[in-house]
Amino acid sequence: MAGDWRPVLARSVTLRHDRVRGVDLLVLPERVVVLRGSAGSVVGLCDGEREVEEIVGELARLHPDAPVADEVPGFLAALRAEGWLR
């Protein structure tokens, strides 16, 4: 993954919160992806302004005991591979 990548949702993808189910969703054309756990919080930081390292740093600050440095870059890369992040 490029060190200067500033992830942002693809143009056809929106992040929504389903208050009834209490989950975050990625809404795509003709498809909805349910985000479990803290995935919605991670995606919410993908604003096109922050580099991956900055997102990891912010999450590490908010959740000091979580393995964000190990998990978040791979998660973001998987979303990019799906075409949901650019």
Judged on CB neighbours under 10 Å (0-12, 13-18, 19+), 67 is: exposed
Question: Tokens standing for 38?
Answer: 């803290």
CATH of 14-82, one of 1.10.10.10, 1.10.260.40, 3.30.70.380, 1.10.10.1150: 1.10.10.1150
Summarize pLDDT for 13-49 with one digit per residue, the tens: 999 999 999 999 999 999 999 999 999 999 999 999 9
Question: Residue 55: phi, psi to the nearest 5?
Answer: -65, -45
In the predicted structure, residue 57 carries a pLDDT above the cut 60: yes
3 has a pLDDT exceeding 90: no
Domain locations along the chain = 14-82
pLDDT tens-digit map of 64-81: 999 999 999 999 999 999
Tell me the C-alpha distance between 55 and 45, whole Å.
6
At 4, the pLDDT band (50, 70, 90 cuts) reads confident
> What does DSSP assign to residue 50?
S
